[in-house]
Chain A
Amino acid sequence: MKLNRRAFIGTGVAAAAALQAPMVWSQGRPRVVVVGGGAGGATVARYLAKDSQGQIDVTLVEPTRHYYTCFFSNLYIGGFRDIASIGHSYGKLAAEYGINVVHDWAVGVDRDAKTVTLAGGAVLPYDRLVLSPGIDFVDGSVPGWDVSAQNKMPHAYKAGSQSELLKAQIEAMPQGGRFAMIAPPNPYRCPPGPYERISMVAHLLTQVNPTAKILLVDPKEKFSKQALFEEGWARHYPGMIERIGPDFGGDKVEVRPDAMEVVIDGTVEKVDACNVIPGQKAGRICEMAGITEGNWAPVTGYTMQSRVDGNIYVLGDATAQGDMPKSGYSANSQAKVAAMAIRGELMGSSVFPAKYSNTCWSLIAPEDGVKVGAAYEPTDEKIASVSSFVSQTGEDAALRKQTYEESLGWYAGITTDMFG
C-alpha cells in the first residue's frame, strides 16, 4: 500500500510509524458514510467497498428497501417495462460487498464532530461523508401544488408508487379526455425526462384512448432534444400533443388539484389527469448539513468534494458542478471519481485525473430511440464539456432501433454497476 504523501509532510515520526502500520485511523478502519442509495450513492458505496477490499468501513444510509430507478420509469408508463423490472434491492451490496446497509433517513450532519444522525436516533461517525440524496421540490414552484397534493396530481419524479399512480390515472381517463403536464423550470433532473414522458404517455394513449389529448405546459423556451421529440411527435402522434411555451403563458401557471383545473395565464383548463413536475433543489439533507449555496451544493470537479467542507463529497442531482446534466449516468460517473479520490485520501492509493461522461437515451415510440451525450473534464471553476453529440432528425428506422436496444444494454450495465 502506498502512503498518501500530503498527509504526512513534515511529520517524520508519524510517517515512519505509518509505514509499518498503514491504518493510521484511530478507530481502526477508516469510515465512510454514504447518504442515499441511488445512482450516485449505490455506485460510490460499491466501488469503495470493492476497490478497498474491505479496508474501508462503508455504511450506506437509504430509507427505502427497494430503489425504483427513475430511468426507465417512463418506459414503465409507456408499457415497455413492468414495475418490478425497475426495482432493485440492496441485498448484494450487503452480502457480497460487505457494505453496512442501514434503512433509515439521515436527519442531521454535525460537521465539527463528523457525525450523521439518523431518524431512528443512531449517530454515525465518519471520516468522509458522501451525500447523494437526489432532489427535493422547491416550495411554491407551481402555485396551488405542494406535496400534500401529490396524490391528485402526481409528480412521478421520484419513481415507484408515484409512477404507478400516474400511470393508473392516465389509464382511467375518460375516452377523449385530456392529460396535462406542467414541465419544470431549469435546472432539473433528467433534461429530456419530461419529454420522453410525454412520448410514452402519448404511446399509452394511442393504445387505450386514441382520441385523448395531451397539454404540455412549459415555462422554458427550449428543451432537450427538442427537434427530435417534435419530429417524433408529429410522426407517431399527429394532432395529439399541444405545447404551451412561455410566449403563451406556459410560465404563468397555477393548479387546482381538488377541481382538476390548470390555470394558464388566467385561462382555466379542465383536465382528467395532471402530472406536475415542480422546480427542484438538492435533497434537503444538503441544506441541513449547511453545504448549499442557493438550491444546490457546489463541488469541485477535481474530486466531487463540497466547496464548503472537504470532508464531504456530494454526487449527482444535488450538486452544482458545471456542465453535466442531472442524470443517473452523470451521478454514476461522478461516483467513480469520488470513490477514487476518497480511497486516495484514506488509503493513499493512486489518484488519476478525473474524467466524466454522460449519455441520455430517450424512447419516442416503439423502437424509436434517440440519445444525447458529452464528455467532461474538470477546470478550477467547473466541470466543463469537452465534446458532445446528439442523434439527428431523419435517421433511419434501423439506427433508431439499434439506439433503443443500446439503451436496454445501458440499463442492464448501469444497474449492475450500482447494485452488483
Chain B
Amino acid sequence: MIRSMLNLLLTGFLLGGTGAAQAELLGDAARGETLFRDCASCHQVGAGAKNRVGPQLNDIFGRKAASAGEDYRYSKGLTRMGADGLVWTFETLNAYIENPKALVSDTRMAYRGMKDETDRADLLAYLRGFSASPANIPESQPTARASEVELPPETLAIVGDKAYGEYLSSECLTCHQRSGANEGIPGVVGWPVEDFVIAMHAYKRQIRPHPVMQMMAGRLSDEEIAALAAYFAELE
C-alpha cells in the first residue's frame, strides 16, 4: 500500500510536481514525527531551527548537499558531493537515511541507518512538510525536543577550562578519534558546547542508555563536563 503510494509519489516528483498533496502521499507524517525523535537530539526543524550537532532540516528537499550555512561544518566527503551537484530529493534522502555511510563514507552523521522502508517514508513525509516551498514553513515550534535534561542556567553558563578539557579528553580518545572518525564509535569533535553538555548530563543521569558513557559521565563534575565541551567544540 505504502509502496504503491511511493511509486505514485516518485512519479509525481519526476513530473516536477511539488506541494502539500504529495507530501501526504509520501507516508504517514504523524508517525514520522514520532520517528523524528531519534533525529532530534542532533537536528532541528521548524520555525527557529538552527544548525546544532547536525544541520537544521527546513527546506531539506531540493537543498544542495552540505549547504545549510556557513556556520555548519560538514565532512569533506559530503562537501565534495554537494559541490559535485548532490541535491537532497526523496530518493537521495531515502538512500542516505537507510545507510548514511553507504552514500557518504566519511559523513559525520553518527546514525546507523533506518532499515525499514515504511519508517523512512513516514519520516520523509514529516520532513517534507517543512520543505513545501521556502516561504511556506509551518509556524510550529522547533521540533527538537525540549532538551533531554533540564539543566539549571548556572550549569549551562559554566565556561569550561580548555586546558583541563584537553587532559580529560585523553580518556575519551581511547575510543573517540581525534579526527572525528565515526566507525562503530561516534565522532565527538566540533559539537556545539550546549549540545555536548546536555548529552553528557543525559548520560550522567542515565537518561541516555549507553553503559560506558554512563560510567564515564557519571564521575565528571559540572566543571569537567564544561571543560570537555569547550575543548571538543574547538577541535577541527
- Enumerate B150-202 residues with CB–CB distance to A below 8 Å: 163-164, 167-168, 170-171, 173-179, 181, 183-185
B211 within 8 A of A: yes
Q: Please state if A413 and B176 are interface contacts (CB–CB under 8 Å).
A: yes
Q: How many residues of B contact A (CB 8 A)?
A: 25
Q: Are A409 and B178 in contact (CB under 8 A)?
A: no
Select A416's contact among B164, B177, B212, B215, beta carbons within 8 Å.
B177
A355 and B171 form a contact (CB under 8 A): yes
Segment with Cβ contacts to B, from A122-130, A176-184, A304-312, A400-408: A400-408
**B211 and A413 contact, CB distance less than 8 A:** no
Please tell me if the beta carbons of B215 and A374 are within 8 angstroms of each other in the complex. Answer: yes
A371 within 8 A of B: yes
Residue A333 at the chain B interface, CB threshold 8 Å:
yes
Contact B211 A373 (CB under 8 A): yes
Does B218 sit within 8 A of A, measured CB to CB? yes
- Does B30 sit at the interface, judged by CB under 8 A? no
Number of A-B contacts (CB under 8 A): 79
**In this assembly, does A47 line the interface, its C-beta being within 8 Å of a C-beta of chain B?**
yes
Whether B214 sits at the interface, judged by CB under 8 Å, is yes
In chain A, what residue has the closest Cβ to B183?
A: A409
CB distance from A375 to the nearest CB of B (A): 5
Q: Cβ of A412 and Cβ of B214 under 8 Å apart?
A: no
Report the Cα distance A241→B177, complex, angstroms. 38
Point out the residues of chain B lying under 8 angstroms from A359, CB to CB.
175, 212
> Considering the chains assembled together, what is the distance between the CA atoms of A145 and B231 in angstroms?
52
Cβ A412 vs Cβ B184 within 8 A: yes
**Interface size for chain A: under 10, 10 to 19, 20 to 34, or 35 or more residues?**
20 to 34
Whole-angstrom CA separation of A17 from B163 in the bound complex: 27
**Complex Cα spacing A402 to B210, Å:** 11
Cross-interface CB contact of B174 among A329, A374, A387, A405, cutoff 8 Å:
A329
Could you list 29 examples of A-B contacts with CB < 8 Å?
A329-B174, A333-B171, A333-B174, A336-B167, A336-B170, A336-B171, A350-B164, A352-B164, A352-B167, A352-B168, A355-B171, A359-B212, A371-B211, A375-B215, A375-B216, A386-B219, A387-B218, A387-B219, A389-B211, A406-B175, A406-B184, A406-B185, A407-B184, A410-B184, A412-B183, A412-B184, A412-B185, A413-B174, A413-B176
17 A-B pairs besides A375-B215, A388-B215, A413-B176 with CB distance below 8 A are: A332-B174, A355-B171, A355-B219, A371-B212, A373-B212, A373-B215, A374-B215, A375-B216, A375-B218, A389-B215, A408-B184, A410-B184, A410-B185, A412-B181, A413-B173, A416-B179, A417-B174
